[in-house]
């Protein structure tokens, strides 16, 4: 009788253990599927923004300025966050270098502002701070970082590390403001929050 009771307890414990294992496996599978769906949505949004940025920068050009790059930077920073906005800017810059023959300024002049814009927005949740991050990151930091690259790799005459600041700052400010206006209009109608939520579900 005692042995039978021990066997039953053993079967019950094993059954509970197997049930818990199966339940955990189901939860893990659901989480993995959800993460894959979220990643696919974010990757699709990234690809669309990168493609749009490349097209706009290619067919709507200004002398020594790429305001639509900075517009895309701000939009990507708000919708996708710092890392993916950095990647988006990198993709656009690489496409411009490979297909349009642009210099390395196409990359350096975009990625820092995109990342800083995303960081400041993530910390404050304010669209205005995304603009500030883009202008400081591109108009000042990227402009200074670009100078030694252009001197050493493209033969730019040695002048001042601030050589590109007068070009990068108005370009980044113009593009960031355009991005801000678009995002603000989406925010007022409630669509910005819906877009962000749809990329997280």
| pLDDT, position 155 | 86
**Domain containing 139 — which CATH number?**
1.10.1760.20
In angstroms, the first-to-last Cα distance of the chain is 54
Give the domain range for residue 104.
41-198
Per-residue pLDDT at 179: 96
Residue ranges of the chain whose pLDDT lies below 50:
2-11, 13-30, 33-34
Number of domains in the chain: 1
pLDDT value of residue 200? 81
Assign residue 81 a region (left: φ > 0; alpha: ψ between -120 and 50; beta: otherwise): left
pTM of the model: 0.80
pLDDT value for 131: 97
29 in any annotated domain:
no
- The predicted pLDDT at position 165 comes to 94
């Amino acid at each position: 009788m005692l042995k039978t009771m021990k066997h039953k307890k053993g079967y019950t414990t094993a059954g509970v253990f197997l049930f818990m294992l199966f339940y955990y496996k189901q939860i893990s599978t659901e989480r993995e599927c959800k993460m894959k769906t979220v990643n696919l949505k974010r990757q699709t949004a990234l690809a669309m923004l990168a493609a749009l940025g490349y097209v706009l920068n290619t067919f709507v050009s200004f002398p020594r300025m790429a305001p639509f790059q900075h517009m895309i930077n701000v939009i990507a920073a708000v919708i996708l966050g710092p890392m993916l906005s950095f990647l988006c800017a990198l993709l656009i810059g690489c496409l411009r270098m490979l297909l349009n023959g642009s210099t390395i300024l196409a990359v350096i002049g975009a990625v820092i502002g995109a990342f800083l814009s995303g960081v400041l927005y993530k910390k404050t949740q304010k669209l205005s701070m995304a603009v500030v991050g883009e202008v400081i990151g591109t108009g000042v930091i990227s402009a200074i970082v670009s100078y030694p690259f252009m001197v050493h790799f493209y033969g730019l005459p040695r002048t001042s590390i601030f050589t590109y600041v007068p070009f990068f700052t108005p370009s980044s400010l113009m593009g960031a403001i355009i991005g801000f206006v678009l995002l603000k209009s989406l925010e007022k109608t409630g669509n910005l929050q819906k877009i962000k939520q749809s990329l997280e579900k």
